[in-house]
Structure 1
Amino acid sequence: MIHSHRAFSHLVHAVGEEGFGDDRLRQAAWVARCVGRDRTGPLRAQDFERLADRFEAESVTAGSLLFSTGAPPKGVWFVREGLIELSVDTDREHTVVDVLRPGDLAGDLAILLETPPPYTARARTDAHCLFLPAPELEALLGDPAICRRWLTSVSKRLAAGQGRLINMLGRPLPTQLDQLLLDEAVDNTIDLPHRTLAAMLGTSVPALNKTLKEFDRDGLITLDDPRIILTDPDRLHHLESAH
């Protein structure tokens, strides 16, 4: 798994223009793509019921801090209700790199890889989470069945992230952007800053915006700043598969 994580990091730096300068944001954005989603999470509904005494129920108000960039991880957060925002703060600005929704989780990779998270997590809305402290995670991993499922979940997430990056290598910006929009859309809407999308593609914001406007003129998307709405996802899928 450590080898997979290193390979993933090398692929992140291989995508985009030579000399791209926003490496910290790009790394954080792509690592955020490896958080646990509802469909790839390691625990099942019955696990939460059976292991309820190991979790701490946390109701957090909008703006509350869950964990900080670079801080040693204290546990795993499972989102049950509300939205959690992952972001990177630089001298220039605060940039959102992803949003966690009910069923998602974050924090396990940082613990298993003994690497501080490259982003900060705050509640975007009032939210309800289940918190699994790091010692409880280690105890859970003593159960062979749960350990196998957890490692399988992490491996699948890293493999999916690597697959996305490999599919982008050597492709022109419009094709890369096409794929990224399809991958990032939730209900045909992308709710991420253009700076984050540009960083993930290793390009400049002006170059990204130029391509987005071309997509808008072609009727593929609608720009509803800051949101991007996929108006013709079928045609986007066709264009992506044609390359």
Structure 2
Amino acid sequence: MGSRLPWSDSTRAALDRAMRVLGSAPADEAAIRHAAWVARCVGRGDAAPLTPDALTALAATLKQHRIERGTVIFHGGRPVGAVWIVQHGRVELSVGSGRRRTVVGVLRPGDVDGDIQLLLGTPLPYTARALDDTTLLSLTADDFDHLLATSLPIARRWLSSVAQRLAASQMRLLGLLGRTLTAQVARLLLDEVVDGQVPLPQRTLAAMLGVQRPSVNKILKELEREGLVGVRYAAIDILDPEGLAKHAG
């Protein structure tokens, strides 16, 4: 895609070690893995850079966009022109096209994307498409720069958000080392669950772990037989989080 990961040297070294332990993925899987890891750095929950109060204060700067279902919001590999904040609806992040298109993440209300790439001057590695009729807020690159330069509280919050996301990414990478594949799959499912399900296809889950899809499929079937998960097309239902947590360690 031409972009570089927003990680420290130690984080990239950890990823290299993890890939050597787990086995490297084919070239197309490497692109999916890259995009999936970047998608996991999206600002959400406690790591979201803007609080509801901050959004209210920025009402005059933020631009609102009403996007029809199925509309492409931005294309992967192109320069980032704005920071995007999901207000209502869901946004799918994917790599590839046609039959080779793979979902690597789903943005939900409150999620923020594009800020790290704007700071680094790198393109996003995935394409964003509205899954529902969606309302988005955006900050242009110029407005984003002006905001960080003129508002110390928001700049501090944004810096903290970026640090939290990159630290969490590094910890996930380090957590790959020394764990069985069953433990890794269980932990990944617990990390990615939203409203009782993981809305990602098995190919993406395998790419995120740097292993072959049949290996992940086998483990998912074992977890399904135990009544911990339900496997369906492009999603995994989490039926017993506590039981899954025991496998995660």
TM-score, with length taken from structure 2: 0.90
State the secondary structure of the residue aligned to 2:46: coil
Aligned counterparts of 1:145 and 1:60: Cα–Cα separation in 2: 31
CA distance in 2, matches of 1:208, 1:173: 8
Q: Aligned partners of 2:118 and 2:192: how far apart in 1?
A: 25
Where 1:102 maps in the other structure, the secondary structure is coil
Tell me if structure 2 keeps the 8 A contact 1:13–1:23.
Answer: no
Per-residue CA shift, 1:23-62, capped at 9, x if unaligned? 1110110111001113211112122222211111100011
Q: CA deviation at 1:7?
A: 3.9
Out of 14, 18, 24, the residue aligned to residue 15 of structure 1 is 18
Candidates 58, 65, 77, aligned match of 1:70: 77
Question: Percent identity between the aligned chains?
Answer: 43
Distance 2:97 2:71 in 1: 19
SS of structure 2 residue aligned to 1:86: strand
Q: Among 99, 103, 113, which residue is 2:110 paired with?
A: 103
Give the equivalent residue in structure 1 for 2:32.
25
Farther off after superposition, 164-173 or 219-228: 219-228
Quickly say closer, same or farther: Cα 1:51–1:91, change in 2 above 3 A: closer
| Partners of 2:213 and 2:91 in 1: CA distance | 25
Quick one: distance in 2 between partners of 1:214 and 1:20? 23
CA displacement 1:188-237 (0-9 Å, x = unmatched)? 21110111000001111111111111111122212233321122111111
**Structure 1 gaps, min length 5:** none
Deviation at 1:13, TM superposition (A): 4.2
Indicate how the Cα distance of structure 1 residues 6 and 115 shifts in structure 2: closer, same or farther if over 3 A, else same.
farther
Alignment partner of 1:59 is 2:66 = yes
CA displacement, residues 147-186 of structure 1 (integer Å, 9 cap, x when unaligned): 1110110010010111112111132211110100111111
Which of 204, 211, 215 is the matching residue for 1:207?
Answer: 215
2:77 alignment partner AA: G
Q: How does 1:167-178 map to 2 (within 5 A)?
A: 167-178=175-186
Correspondence for 2:174: 166
Deviates more, 1:113-122 or 1:17-26: 17-26
Q: Is this contact kept in 2: 1:12–1:26, CA < 8 A?
A: no
Instruction: Report the AA paired with residue 51 of structure 1.
Output: L
* Contact 1:9–1:27 under 8 Å retained in 2: no
**d(CA) in 1 for partners of 2:16 and 2:71?**
32
CA contact (8 A) 1:38 1:102 kept: no
> Deviation at 1:66?
1.6
Contact residue 23 and residue 211 of structure 2 kept, 8 A: no
Select 1:43's aligned residue among 41, 50, 57: 50
Give TM-score, length-normalised by structure 1: 0.93
Asked whether the equivalents of residues 85 and 121 of structure 1 are also in contact (C-alpha less than 8 Å), the reply is: yes
Q: Distance in 1 between matches of 2:132 and 2:6?
A: 36
Query: CA 1:38/1:3 → structure 2, altered by over 3 Å: closer, same or farther?
Result: closer
Aligned: 1:114 with 2:121 = yes
Whole-angstrom CA distance in 1 between matches of 2:114 and 2:80: 7
> Which stretches in structure 2 are left out of the alignment for 5+ residues?
none
Residue of structure 2 equivalent to 1:227: 235
Do the aligned residues in 1 keep the contact of 2:84 with 2:112 (CA within 8 Å)? yes
